[in-house]
Amino acid sequence: MGQPSVPPPLTPPAPPLMGGGASGGCQVRCAGCRMILTVGAGLTEFVCPTCQLPQMLPPELVSRTHLPPVPAHGIDPTKIQLPCAHCKAILNVPHGLSRFACPQCGIDLAVDISKLKQFFPPRLPPEEVNEVAIEVEREEDEGGMVGETFTDYLPPKLSIGPPHPDHVVETSSLSAVQPPEPTYDLKIKDDLEISKALSCLQIETLVYACQRHLHHLQSGARAGFFIGDGAGVGKGRTIAGLIWENWHHERRKALWISVGSDLKFDARRDLDDVGATCVEVHALNKLPYSKLDSKSVGVREGVVFLTYSSLIASSEKGRSRLQQLVQWCGSGYDGLVIFDECHKAKNLVPEAGGQPTRTGEAVLELQARLPEARVVYCSATGASEPRNLGYMMRLGLWGAGTCFPNFREFLGALDKGGVGALELVAMDMKARGMYVCRTLSYKGVEFEIVEAPLEDHMTEMYKRAAEFWAELRVELLSASAFLTDEKPNSSQVWRVYWASHQRFFRHMCMAAKVPAAVRLSKQALMENKCVVIGLQSTGEARTEEAVTKYGLELDDFISGPRELLLKFVEENYPLPEKPESLPGEESVKELQRKRHSATPGVSLKGRVRKVAKWKPASDGESDEDFEPDSEHESTESDDEFQICEICNTEEERKKLLQCSCCAQLVHPSCLVPPMIEVVSEEWSCDLCKERTDEYLQARHAYVAELLKRYEAAVERKSKILEIIRALDLPNNPLDDIIDQLGGPDKVAEMTGRRGMLVRASTGKGVTYQARNTKDVTMEMVNMNEKQLFMDGKKFVAIISEAGSAGVSLQADRRAVNQRRRVHLTLELPWSADRAIQQFGRTHRSNQASAPEYRLLFTNLGGERRFASIVAKRLETLGALTQGDRRAGLSLSAYNYDSAYGKRALMVMYRGIMEQDSLPVVPPGCSSEKPETIQEFIMKAKAALVSVGIVRDTVLGNGKDSGKLSGRIVDSDMHDVGRFLNRLLGLPPDIQNRLFELFVGILDLLVQNARTEGHFDSGIVDMKANVIELQGTPKTVHVDQMSGASTVMFTFTMDRGITWESATTLLDEKQKDGLGSATDGFYESKREWLGRRHFLLAFEGSSSGMFKIIRPAVGEAIREMTLAELKSKYRRVSSLEKARSGWENEYEVSSKQCMHGPNCKLGNFCTVGRRLQEVNVLGGLIFPIWGTIEKALSKQARQSHKRLRVVRIETTTDNQRIVGLLVANAAVESVLQDLAWVQDLDP
């Protein structure tokens, strides 16, 4: 019943608890983890350092300290602890149990309830909650201040080569990590020092890549290297240097896989630049599928350049490019395999329910079949999403010899690790010498977000288009009601409908920005600058369809949205099947004859047919030999006489008439009236004639109805097509911009399309023509256009994602056109990483001037917010892999398709469907006027119905008259992508209101998560006035391959603000004239432990928000509203009183936390403590991630369980450390699990 068994002998000496020695103390067994603990003399309450269970000594040990310590089992707090009257053993007695036997000495015992009170201390009054302490704890949990995000970069351990031509930076987090010692000696070092073709940065990459390629993973495959440099740093020339170095080691074959075949020319240029003129570049798409090293093809060495799409290509005969490449490389191939722009191989490990891409699988297979190959991954945004690392199998982050057996486990750890985990991966990779990531500084680059609000005409056009799509949906639903048998076809129609819907409104958004784009372009050209306009889609498919339909000469440019709508309706409008023409009498008779002959084995003559059993004829016998004559004879005799169906008499067959429909036989004389003349073979009886006439009439009516229905549907379809043709819709933006900026002679186009519409020289009408000329092939047209732009023959360039990957359009010092680039975005991709790829076209190395970025957006839905996100990210240069989330936007807060975004969407949907109340007041509504909220909910519900999110709708009657009811399927409840796409198809007013509501709820959820300490904000700075390293850092883990180590650092921090500093801050604020009447010192309205808390408050970044500075912890991250400030604090008018309270709190906080001297966590608690000890696990973290996670999970306090990545810099010598913050209470547990406890002993 819970009593302990006989305790084992205590042979090993128990460790002291909380620093206490064994002398004068006692030993107990922990009730949680069963470890033996030594409790110091005088201690009655304690927390187990291993499992963090709060416990107290049993009453017997407390009251009889003069007795020798009794070896006791752990205290079970759910039971009463009582001593045995005989052997004095402490027993855990369940409440209510009055009689039992001692399990140690066996004596029977009874509980005397009247004497129990002496064992229980008097009940303390409930502990008073210190609200200020809770507030401070939340602020501390949010992390530190945002510091400098980037630092200038120079190779820390190499000094070969000239400096890079442009300013290069690295995130300060990555700069806190040192790469391993360079040991590789380059063969081409002397050549490079003479030619100065590569900068010191690029040479550093060469050394570390070659050094990494000397190692093998535990799986047996050669280790790979990841070049994560930002766009424009010079990855192409670095790759050329790697090829040239390997060439000198007699590795004469290399595979270079990139995104576009045009980049082959850049590869050739880069190889020439590093002096590798003798290395040939072979474009795989120009070569046959036969063996590359055969006599007919003759590719025996050099670089085979191919695209990712070529990698999955195969010939008509089934030969694959992948097999061809593996055969060319040969067994034991140890040359280079370069995956350039390798983010194209993403989605190898898709979201649940998705399929891996063929490209991702091919990249994986190529690596698996060439285990000795020297693999290099190159991408500025290669790991923007953790699952996109799946193809980088040669980095050794998972698999044999790691703590993650496969990629799924690795991905799971990253997901659990939150925002900071991926940064740690980047830092780990750098520390192990497999990763470099530098970025061009954006100093001198200008950013401007330009709002292009919808003009009145465009707003009206957009509204009508949205209404038309809603009406079209209703029309399709009613038209589909006639097609009950066409269910599979119906689902296909809706898939195409929503895809077309999304594409249509993307076109509309883009077209709305054309006037602003043209105006800004003309302004830039007048200022002697040149223009680059970026978009995602060209509308080529719609243009080609229209040209096929209307001819090469047209009155005006094609309207992409109109053609898309026409195509959808023409191909997908559900028409009933067109009925066949009415059958003639002959075919009706044939139909009836077939019906009568449907019974097998019965002849038309009414007798049983004898069926012969056939078998195949052998070589030696013929059919004549097989069939006996007797059978033919018997059949003949059967036909001689038949029976009349009317008189039932037998008659010769030839004297009877036979109905051609029902086949009955009758005497002509038996008919009424009797038949005298000779009749034709197609005679039919009266009954059959009657039935035939009835059938024909019914059939005629049925077919007429079908035809009427079909013609009505065709007419409806024609009317819809007429309405579409009459709709006022914008032209194709790409053609429109080119036309307004002077036509193809003035504008360089680098897109994936083959033809374009050009305005006729007369100014009337447009003509379709190919983009290339006689002198330029279609393959070279983008390269030719790029050259015309760089040579200053054209000053406007339009680029699409498909046509410009890897293209350099910066104001290159080597180019003729060195005008400053003004980069306009007409269409932003929803992915910020793809936006960065596009912006990297104009901001690259060796440029004469930095570009100006103009991010265009409309006032629709999420466009503005998304544009600001990309701008923030660009301003601070971030890409996720660069190891610092503040290097870009706070992705967790602004990424709509996050866990918080999905929750926000569900909350919003439930509120609109009136299943729950909305947590925020919808835009344009007032909480004081509930009818406004109700009106909004009705409009929102109707809007969601019109875009197909709310289904199975029913219009209520009675008391619910006019109310819509319906349901949102579970898969839609969390589908943020679908919501954002469907949102575009709503009229601007309700679209913006719905989006603002969604964002309002998302912000609230994120704020709540911050307040509760659950929000993971990635790497945070730990700031204090004084930060010093305490003692010598201890090495706790060493990586076998690279020698990189994990180190435990201990820092002491003084976070306080003296009275003098606080008054100086206030004086400066007031001197500058920036102060407000509410600035000053405040004290808490309530007392805790006989003291009030003091703070300094002054107006912050926005009106009504106040910066808070506390004596013990300095400036708080979160600003406080005036209402909150006045509700919790009151202004101190007497400076003397403020000074006394401030200095008292400053002094007290050096020794204890805000909870006072009786805090449950004792010295481990740091809430509001001015002087504190901080432990950071730095260096290599990810290999021991699982161990640390397991150790932290045992902590008692929730905030101590979280894996938090911090950056800390000493104030004495500016030493910067980035690593995992380990709470003081958890240090011993973490080190025990790492099995390096002995190293911590002095």
Mean pLDDT computed over 306-332: 87
Locus of tokens 């918080």: 900
Predicted local confidence at residue 620, as pLDDT: 42
Per DSSP, the three-state class of 909 is helix
The better pLDDT of the pair 695, 3 is held by 695
pLDDT of 1031 above 80: yes
pLDDT of 1112 above 90: no
pLDDT of 622 above 50: no
The better pLDDT of the pair 375, 899 is held by 375
Distance CA 424, CA 1220 (A): 9
Predicted local confidence at residue 334, as pLDDT: 93
pLDDT tens per residue across span 508-550: 888 888 899 999 999 999 999 999 998 877 777 777 777 777 7
pLDDT of 576 above 70: yes
| Structure tokens that stand for 510 in this block | 């883009």
The better pLDDT of the pair 1041, 649 is held by 649
Indicate the pairing of strand 657-658 with strand 665-666: antiparallel
pLDDT of 20 above 70: no
Distance CA 866, CA 1000 (A): 15
Distance CA 972, CA 939 (A): 19
pLDDT of 1164 above 80: no
The better pLDDT of the pair 528, 656 is held by 528
* pLDDT-derived band at 457, boundaries 50, 70, 90: confident
pLDDT above 70 covers a percentage of the chain that reads 75
Predicted local confidence at residue 142, as pLDDT: 52
Mean pLDDT computed over 1025-1031: 87
* pLDDT-derived band at 148, boundaries 50, 70, 90: very low
The better pLDDT of the pair 164, 124 is held by 164
pLDDT tens per residue across span 969-988: 877 788 877 887 788 888 88
Mean pLDDT computed over 695-705: 78
* pLDDT-derived band at 708, boundaries 50, 70, 90: confident
SS3 content of the chain, % helix, strand, coil (to 5): 40, 15, 45
Predicted local confidence at residue 377, as pLDDT: 92
Predicted local confidence at residue 138, as pLDDT: 61
pLDDT of 627 above 70: no
Residue 394 makes CB contacts below 8 A (sequence gap 6+) with 217, 221, 222, 223, 224, 367, 375, 377
Mean pLDDT computed over 842-846: 80
Residue 758 makes CB contacts below 8 A (sequence gap 6+) with 743, 744, 766, 767, 768, 769
pLDDT of 598 above 50: no
The better pLDDT of the pair 936, 674 is held by 936
Locus of tokens 């590359």: 292
Predicted local confidence at residue 1222, as pLDDT: 85
Predicted local confidence at residue 590, as pLDDT: 59
Mean pLDDT computed over 86-100: 77
pLDDT of 145 above 50: no
Predicted local confidence at residue 561, as pLDDT: 85
Q: Concatenated DSSP letters for 548-609?
A: HHH-SEESS---HHHHHHHHHHHHHS-PPPPPPPPP-HHHHHHHHHHHHTTSTTB-TTSSBP
pLDDT of 597 above 60: no
* pLDDT-derived band at 254, boundaries 50, 70, 90: very high
The better pLDDT of the pair 694, 288 is held by 288
* pLDDT-derived band at 305, boundaries 50, 70, 90: very high
Mean pLDDT computed over 369-395: 82
* pLDDT-derived band at 613, boundaries 50, 70, 90: very low
Distance CA 347, CA 1004 (A): 32
The better pLDDT of the pair 795, 679 is held by 795
Distance CA 1153, CA 55 (A): 21
pLDDT of 247 above 90: yes
DSSP state, residue 758: E
* pLDDT-derived band at 957, boundaries 50, 70, 90: low
Predicted local confidence at residue 335, as pLDDT: 93
pLDDT of 242 above 90: yes
pLDDT of 891 above 70: no
Predicted local confidence at residue 256, as pLDDT: 93
Predicted local confidence at residue 238, as pLDDT: 93
pLDDT of 54 above 90: no
* pLDDT-derived band at 880, boundaries 50, 70, 90: very low
| DSSP-assigned beta bridge partners for residue 304 | 255, 282
Predicted local confidence at residue 1114, as pLDDT: 82
Question: Which of 325-339, 364-378, 924-938 has the least mean pLDDT?
Answer: 924-938
Predicted local confidence at residue 81, as pLDDT: 76
The better pLDDT of the pair 76, 1034 is held by 1034
Amino acid making up residue 128:
E
pLDDT tens per residue across span 485-512: 544 456 777 888 888 888 888 888 888 8
The better pLDDT of the pair 212, 770 is held by 212
pLDDT of 59 above 70: no
Mean pLDDT computed over 361-383: 86
Predicted local confidence at residue 244, as pLDDT: 94
Residue 1166 makes CB contacts below 8 A (sequence gap 6+) with 140, 1153, 1172, 1224
Predicted local confidence at residue 890, as pLDDT: 34
Q: Which of 211, 212, 301, 198 is nearest to 251 (CA)?
A: 301
The better pLDDT of the pair 935, 1 is held by 935
Predicted local confidence at residue 337, as pLDDT: 95
Distance CA 1193, CA 722 (A): 67
The better pLDDT of the pair 454, 548 is held by 454
Exposed/middle/buried for residue 190 (C-beta within 10 Å: 0-12, 13-18, 19+)? exposed
Per DSSP, the three-state class of 468 is helix
pLDDT of 790 above 80: yes
Mean pLDDT computed over 261-278: 88
Mean pLDDT computed over 412-437: 79
- Please give the mean pLDDT across all residues of the chain: 76
pLDDT of 352 above 70: no
CB 342 within 8 A of CB 255: no
Predicted local confidence at residue 1075, as pLDDT: 67
Distance CA 1211, CA 630 (A): 120
